[in-house]
Amino acid sequence: MSDMQTDKKAKIELDGKVFELPIIEGMEGEKAIDIRSLRAQTGYITLDSGYMNTGSCRSGITFLDGERGILQYRGYAIEELAEHCTFVEVAYLLVHGNLPTPAQLRNFSEMLGRFAMIHEDMVHFFDRFPPYASPMSILSSMVNSLCNFYPEMTENPLDNIDAMAARLLSKVRTIAAFSYKKTMGHPVVYPRHDLSYCANFLNMMFDSPVAPYEINDKVVAALNKLLILHGDHEQNCSTSTVRLVGSARVNLYASISAGISALWGPLHGGANQAVMEMLETIHAEGGGYRKFIEKAKDPNDPFRLVGFGHRVYKTHDPRSRILKQASEDVLASMNVVDDPLLEIAKELEEVALRDDYFIERNLYPNVDFYSGIIYRAMGIPANMFTVMFALGRLPGWIAHWMEMWNDPDTRIGRPRQIYVGPQLKPFVPMAERTGNE
Ligand code: SDX
């Protein structure tokens, strides 16, 4: 990792003394004060709830500029990748750092096909989850269990990056489809060697012994685009979780399982399901979305306009723009005209973006606002939307875990704190306690 040290220094004055701290600069001009020596020099730490101003690492995987609405994977614009690539190509790019040659892609695709099955003992795990079990809970449990069935992947994780990444990408796809079939009470559909990554997933989800699933190339193309757009997003909550858990030298599967749990949250990847539930509620109530905008603006109401706002983007999330167009295209290719939920979403966006509350806070639609419209059109149920987000984010998580694991600067993640609890007090024996100790 090229350290972007500069000869510039930040000066801070504390208790009458002036201290200097190095300034570092990223490839796209981001600037940081390197505070690694702060406490040793000054005895002070920094406090930054939610890490809104704090960088956790140097990374060469994804660049995003929240002010200009720029997103690049390994230097390539998301718009180009979404337009010209398959998800498998982009997964290879994120993991390896280069777009695959035809031979590399063939080899990677062959591995994905070879690793598509899960151990038959794992298939029986599904019989023990209750029918109402959350697909995200099932996914996190099953991914964590992989290290019991494939211990070789935990001993020397970086010996064969392709196999490690392909095994996870392929088996998580199978686990996701199997969990859906199990919640439906249907027999699982095994992966086929003759189908592409996305076509295989759709077939495992929707094929049935009594109703063969007809692969629609436009739907397959839309799924590739959806997964690409979710591929990575630098140090978001779930990716930071994967890196933090991995920094304790935890194997890839357990680190990814922790990332899946973080993604589950409605403020993060769970928002796509919450958007669909919000749009369906608005539709069921006759389309009156203004009530939801007023609720979102009310400081005394915890309701947030889900699918809006972002920690980094203070302008349009480039992914949301692409997904808005893709939702129109997919619905048209399926001869669905005037989808009421898409119409509500578009009107909601239009009204919110003219409202001072949203304008003043730079609140725009994010990746979760339109994605559910497309998943729903494909027949994927809302409680599987966040699983789809995880499927897309997997290559990004793998890439970040590997970058962290390989980085000589990596130390176990262990933040400091400012203590605000009680000061030392005398111990009170049980017999003398009044309940106020
Ligand atoms: C993802 O980090 C990533 O990169 C994530 C992600 C990825 O690819 O990994 O992009 C995926 O998680 C997208 C975000 C999905 N979540 C949602 O759509 C949930 C709704 N959005 C919000 O909860 C919120 O916008 C967050 C969580 C996304 C960001 O929260 P921040 O950065 O902590 O911002 P904040 O809560 O401090 O809000 C700042 C102001 C507040 O108002 P004031 O106190 O200043 O008056 O904006 C308001 C907030 O109340 N606000 C909203 C709002 N989002 C922020 N008000 C109404 N509706 C919203 N959606």
- The whole-number average pLDDT for the span 170-197 is 95
What's the pLDDT at 155?
66
CB count in 10 Å sphere of residue 106: 11
Which of 228, 233, 234, 268 to mutate for ligand 1's pocket (most ligand atoms within 8 Å of CB)?
Answer: 268
The span from the CA of 338 to the CA of 321, in Å, is: 19
Closest by CA position to 102, among listed 92, 113, 112: 92
- The whole-number average pLDDT for the span 399-425 is 96
- What does residue 113 show for φ and ψ, rounded to 5 degrees? -70, -40
- What does residue 397 show for φ and ψ, rounded to 5 degrees? -60, -45
The length of the chain is 437
- The whole-number average pLDDT for the span 339-344 is 93
CB 358 near ligand 1, within 6 Å: no
Token look-up 């997103």 returns 71
192-237 pLDDT, tens digit per residue, is 999 999 999 999 999 999 999 999 999 999 999 999 999 999 999 9
Q: How far is the CA of 243 from the centre of ligand 1 (A)?
A: 22
5, pLDDT greater than 80 = no
CB count in 10 Å sphere of residue 208: 12
The span from the CA of 187 to the CA of 177, in Å, is: 11
CB 359 near ligand 1, within 6 Å: no
Residues that are catalytic: 310, 368
CB 400 near ligand 1, within 6 Å: no
What's the pLDDT at 156?
67
What's the pLDDT at 105?
97
The span from the CA of 342 to the CA of 328, in Å, is: 8
304, pLDDT greater than 60 = yes
What's the pLDDT at 1?
42
What's the pLDDT at 2?
47
Q: How far is the CA of 309 from the centre of ligand 1 (A)?
A: 4
Token look-up 């608005």 returns 282
What's the pLDDT at 363?
95
Q: How far is the CA of 51 from the centre of ligand 1 (A)?
A: 14
Residue nearest to ligand 1 atom 52, measured at CA: 304
Residue nearest to ligand 1 atom 22, measured at CA: 309
CB 378 near ligand 1, within 6 Å: no
Among left, alpha and beta (phi > 0; psi -120 to 50; other), residue 435 is left
CB count in 10 Å sphere of residue 182: 20
The span from the CA of 215 to the CA of 203, in Å, is: 7
28-58 pLDDT, tens digit per residue, is 999 999 999 999 999 999 999 999 999 999 9
Portion of the chain with pLDDT greater than 70, in percent: 98
Q: Order of strands, edge to edge, in the sheet holding 5-14? A: 5-14, 17-25, 31-33
pLDDT band at 306 (very low <50, low <70, confident <90, very high): very high
Q: How far is the CA of 289 from the centre of ligand 1 (A)?
A: 19
Burial pattern 137-168, b for ≥16 Cβ within 10 A else e, equals: ebbbbbbbbbbeebeebbeebeeeeebbbbbb
Residue nearest to ligand 1 atom 39, measured at CA: 361
How far does the chain reach from its first CA to its final CA, in angstroms? Answer: 52
Q: How far is the CA of 308 from the centre of ligand 1 (A)?
A: 7
Q: Amino acid identity of 118?
A: I
Read off the pTM. Answer: 0.95
Cβ atoms of residues 27 and 63 within 8 Å: yes
Q: How far is the CA of 274 from the centre of ligand 1 (A)?
A: 13
Residue nearest to ligand 1 atom 54, measured at CA: 309
122, pLDDT greater than 90 = yes
The span from the CA of 179 to the CA of 205, in Å, is: 9
Closest ligand 1 atom to the C-alpha of 311?
A: 32
Query: Which two three-digit tokens encode residue 115?
Result: 């690793």
CB 395 near ligand 1, within 6 Å: no
Contacts of residue 314, defined as CB under 8 A and 6 or more positions apart, other chains included, come to 66, 67, 362, 364
Residue-averaged pLDDT of the chain = 94
Q: Amino acid identity of 399?
A: A
Which of 273, 311, 400 to mutate for ligand 1's pocket (most ligand atoms within 8 Å of CB)?
Answer: 311
Closest by CA position to 196, among listed 91, 334, 121, 325: 91
